[in-house]
Amino acid sequence: MFKVNRRDFMKLTGGAAVVGSVLGMPHIARAAGQKVVVIGGGPGGATAAKYLKMGNPGLDVTLIESGDSYVACFLSNEVLSGERTLESLTVGFDGLKKYGITVVKDTASAIDPAAKKVTTSGGKTFDYDRCVVSPGVEFNYEAVVGYSEAASHKAPHAWKAGPQTLLLRKQLEDMKDGGTFVIVAPPNPFRCPPGPYERAAQVAMYFKHKKPKSKIIILDPKDDFAKKGLFIKAWTSLYGYGTPDSMIKWVSGADGGKVDKIDMETLTVSAQTEDFKADVLNVIPPQKAGHIAHVADLVNEKGWCSVNKKTFESSKHPGVHIIGDASDATTMPKSAYSASSQAKVCAAAIIDLLAGKEPGDPSYVNTCYSIAGPDYGFSVAGVYTYDAEKNEIAGVKGAGGLTPVDASPEMLKREVGYAHSWLANIVADSWK
């Protein structure tokens, strides 16, 4: 063990070229010059690029990302409650450049797996030996009758953080006390399974202090959702759930929560048994893999990318790997933690494959925190291993699971602190 203070550490790691070796990663000179192109700079793509370079500084890694910076969805429900700013969720790509990654601001418009080339809408082409695709999700707007991309400017989805998040926050701030906020929850599978229910809790926290007569209605096609027991308990103890004055009402699929159509003129949502008039309407549409995955013929009939779960290589096009929300690795929830964990597995596999070696055995982790109120947080965790027989990511038996429902207030409070610390660490681990 050796200890250094921060200043010495900076001196020690001063040159980008030595970062990998100082941090204890193997240096494989043999693969020098081999090219990896990463599409998408979210937690999946950014982490893949960084860990590729850390694992083998000799690789030539290019990251293509449409945005100037990345705005994280995770913890963006706290922007809706006014607990944090969108700036606190925004991170640039300069940190990645320090590792020697070439960051290109452009949009990948095509992948040619035969010629091993990526083309961008800016008119550039990039050759690759291996390509990593982490484009996140795209919405099936039209699956909700009456809703559309244009309609999202009036009834935001706020399921990609940025202007949509700020628009929804503004609408909630402008809403009169006594108004109704309706959330239309999506069918499985979708990005961040506990997200809509955390959103209800965060908005309830804001209403409780600022607009106590207001209501929140969640219309859901499902009868079950992630961390349901924990959410119901939190809603009950914080927001009167289960009483006639409950601030939150959850209408399950069995109770007619599936939405038939939306009248955008009046913000009236017709669910199966009842119409709901919203003052503020949040529609989270059904989802599929990001656009480029469709253009590049990487998707299956369900709209997600089938991959080898050990390497994340496409089952359709060799040499192309898909990670994060867009992949069909659905035994892991679609979360930032999953995307980043999959990125590390994928990066290690690519390093082995490019060195002509059989990829080593993977190990994956997911965690997702939810914050339901002041000092009230809880989590789900999973440790996973690769099941070669089924080509599936399998949870290690006896491990993982939820915060116990009888967790003490002290532990729930600690989980809020650890959730915020998770944000800082995953951002640093992916982009810095």
- Smallest gap from residue 157 Cβ to other proteins (A): 26
Site for other proteins in 82-101 (CB under 8 A): none
The closest of 160, 149, 101 to 336, measured between CA atoms, is: 160
Residue whose token pair is 């409780």: 208
Are 348 and 336 contacting, i.e. CB atoms less than 8 angstroms apart? no
- Smallest gap from residue 20 Cβ to ligand FAD (A): 22
81 contributes a contact to ligand HEC by CB under 6 A: no
418 contributes a contact to ligand HEC by CB under 6 A: yes
Binding pattern for the stretch 191-210 against ligand FAD, x by CB under 6 A and - elsewhere: xx--x---------------
66 contributes a contact to ligand FAD by CB under 6 A: yes
Handedness of CA 278, 142, 146, 152 (dihedral sign): positive
Binding test (CB under 8 A) with other proteins, winner from 83, 106, 375, 387: 387
Q: Which does 40 bind (CB under 5 to 8 A by kind): ligand FAD, ligand HEC, other proteins, none?
A: ligand FAD
Nearer CB in complex with ligand HEC: 163/417: 417
Cα gap 126→115, rounded to integer Å: 10
Cα gap 323→364, rounded to integer Å: 13
- The CA angle 377-425-373, to the nearest 5 degrees, is 15
Binding test (CB under 6 A) with ligand FAD, winner from 324, 359, 373, 395: 324
Binding pattern for the stretch 5-44 against other proteins, x by CB under 8 A and - elsewhere: xx--x--x---------xxxxx------------------
Structure tokens at 91: 């991170």
123 contributes a contact to other proteins by CB under 8 A: no
67 contributes a contact to ligand FAD by CB under 6 A: yes
- The CA angle 392-382-418, to the nearest 5 degrees, is 150
342 contributes a contact to ligand HEC by CB under 6 A: no
Structure tokens at 324: 């994060």
What 3-state DSSP class applies to 326? helix
181 contributes a contact to ligand FAD by CB under 6 A: no
Site for other proteins in 37-66 (CB under 8 A): 51, 55
Are 414 and 422 contacting, i.e. CB atoms less than 8 angstroms apart? no
DSSP state of 358: -
189 contributes a contact to other proteins by CB under 8 A: no
- List, in sequence order, every residue forming a beta bridge with 276; answer none if it has no partner: 269
Query: Segment near ligand FAD (CB under 6 A), from 205-213, 322-330, 374-382, 406-414?
Result: 322-330
Provide the CA 144 distance to its chain's centre, in angstroms. Answer: 22
Residue whose token pair is 């989805």: 157
Nearer CB in complex with ligand FAD: 75/204: 75
Q: What is the DSSP string of 17-51?
A: HHHHHHTT----GGGTT-EEEEE--SHHHHHHHHH
Cα gap 199→195, rounded to integer Å: 6
185 contributes a contact to ligand FAD by CB under 6 A: no
Binding test (CB under 8 A) with other proteins, winner from 93, 139, 337, 376: 337
312 contributes a contact to ligand HEC by CB under 6 A: no
Sheet with 130-133, edge to edge strand ranges: 102-105, 60-65, 35-39, 130-133, 320-322
Cα gap 347→344, rounded to integer Å: 5
Binding test (CB under 6 A) with ligand FAD, winner from 31, 38, 39, 216: 39
- Smallest gap from residue 386 Cβ to other proteins (A): 6
Cα gap 406→54, rounded to integer Å: 42
Structure tokens at 210: 């600022």
Nearer CB in complex with ligand FAD: 31/298: 298
Structure tokens at 129: 């030996």
Cα gap 276→259, rounded to integer Å: 10
Binding test (CB under 6 A) with ligand HEC, winner from 422, 426, 430, 431: 422
Binding pattern for the stretch 354-393 against ligand FAD, x by CB under 6 A and - elsewhere: --------------xx------------------------
Cα-atom radius of gyration of the chain, to the nearest Å? Answer: 22
Contact residues: other proteins, CB under 8 A = 1-6, 9, 12, 22-26, 51, 55, 337, 340-341, 344-345, 348, 360-365, 367, 379, 381-383, 385-389, 394-401, 403, 407, 410-411, 414-415, 417-418, 420-422, 424-426, 428-429
Contact residues: ligand FAD, CB under 6 A = 39-45, 64-67, 70, 73-77, 107-108, 134-136, 159, 191-192, 195, 290, 292, 324-326, 334-337, 339, 368-369
